[in-house]
Amino acid sequence: MLLADQIRPEAGCVLRHLRETGIARIVLVTGDRADLAAGVGAFLGVDDVISEMKPEDKTSAVEKERARGRPVLMIGDGVNDAPALAAADVGIAMGARGAAASSEAADVVILVDRLDRLVDALHIARRSRRIAVQSVYVGIGLSVAGMIAAAFGYLTPVEGALFQEAIDVAVVLNALRALGPPVSFAMTSPRLSNEDLQRLEAEHKALADLVDDIGMTADRLKRLPLEEAMDELERLDRGLRDRLLPHEKKDEQVYAQLRQKKAAPDILAGMSRTHMEIQRQIHNLAVMRKAFDGKAPTETQLNEIQRLLHGLEAITRLHFAQEEEIYRSLEVE
């Protein structure tokens, strides 16, 4: 019998949007084993992974992050998350399926079992604060202008009173904008220059030998002696980390630029999800390689590595082809 916790399908999209809203550092704090936590961290692309944590350890982790000089936002849903939620500057509990203790300790409770509501809450909070500050500054500014005008005799007491009432009404009406949806203005469609397209295609061509090497290593793995096989896997792992992963991170930066230029749903979310899968497969390869520890791999282990390598090759080739199609569709005419 095998039991597994599935990663929330919206997790990758949520983390990307959190970074775009200004969240500088994302840490996964969990009580799970180190190997499982490292796999999830590699898939999600978080900045740090802290595993095998007890409830009091999670509180210490929050205090350690606060020592960096920035506010700490903690998200959790279990009983063991309650102390850390209370210790964080802002504690957010998933109330739909989470424990009652975490909901009581948190500052904010999300009532539906969807993590992407956190991004909506951040956008609503920032927009509301922006409107509130705008109303305060405009109200004070107009009031000061009215007092100066009255001091120089340009406004009678009755006119000043009416002017102040008009200011109050204007500020209240402006504040009521927070209840409605934001006004969207037409934004330019995302476009890539011909130079950008050629550069991206050149990067794919430069990585073609590495992608070929993935499949060739999988094909000849069983025919090699143990020592040579381990050397081949180490060489391939090093090439994937030194060449393929930096390219994927650079592509994510391009995706972020395109998202900023278009007021539409994230059309590149599926491509980012593929990036996450590539990262997880490379992490799994490193874990399998280290698991041998100088011992001869079994037939089952070799089959599993071959399956992983063939899958990684297929995903990478398809991903490159999809990227080039999307980039061509965004090329400036």
pLDDT at 185: 46
Average of per-residue pLDDT values in the chain: 84
Q: Which amino acid is at 154?
A: Y
Partners of residue 50 on adjacent β-strands: 29
pLDDT at position 263 is 47
Residues of the chain with pLDDT under 70: 2, 4, 98, 182-193, 261-267, 293-294, 329-333
What single letter denotes the amino acid at residue 257?
Q
User: Which secondary structure element, helix H or strand E, spans residue 267, and what is its range?
Assistant: none
Predicted local confidence at residue 186, as pLDDT = 45
- Across 145-184, b (16+ Cβ under 10 Å) vs e yields ebeeebeeeebeeeebeebbeebeeebeeebeeeeeeeee
Q: Could you state, in order of their start, the residue ranges of all structural domains in the chain?
A: 11-114, 119-179, 194-329
Per CATH, is 194-329 categorized as 1.20.120? yes
Confidence (pLDDT) at 266:
63
| Domain boundaries 11-114, corresponding CATH code | 3.40.50.1000
Contacts of 282 (CB under 8 A, 6+ apart): 42, 237, 240, 241, 244, 245, 312
Q: What is the pLDDT of residues 13-71, one digit of tens each?
A: 788 888 888 888 999 999 888 888 888 888 888 999 999 988 888 999 999 999 988 89
Rounded to whole angstroms, the Cα distance separating 156 from 162 reads: 10
pLDDT of residue 308: 93
Rounded to whole angstroms, the Cα distance separating 23 from 256 reads 14
At 154 the pLDDT is 85
- For position 267, what pLDDT does the model report? 66
> Residue 216 corresponds to which tokens in the numbers above?
């060739």
pTM of the model: 0.62
pLDDT tens track for 209-222: 999 999 999 988 88
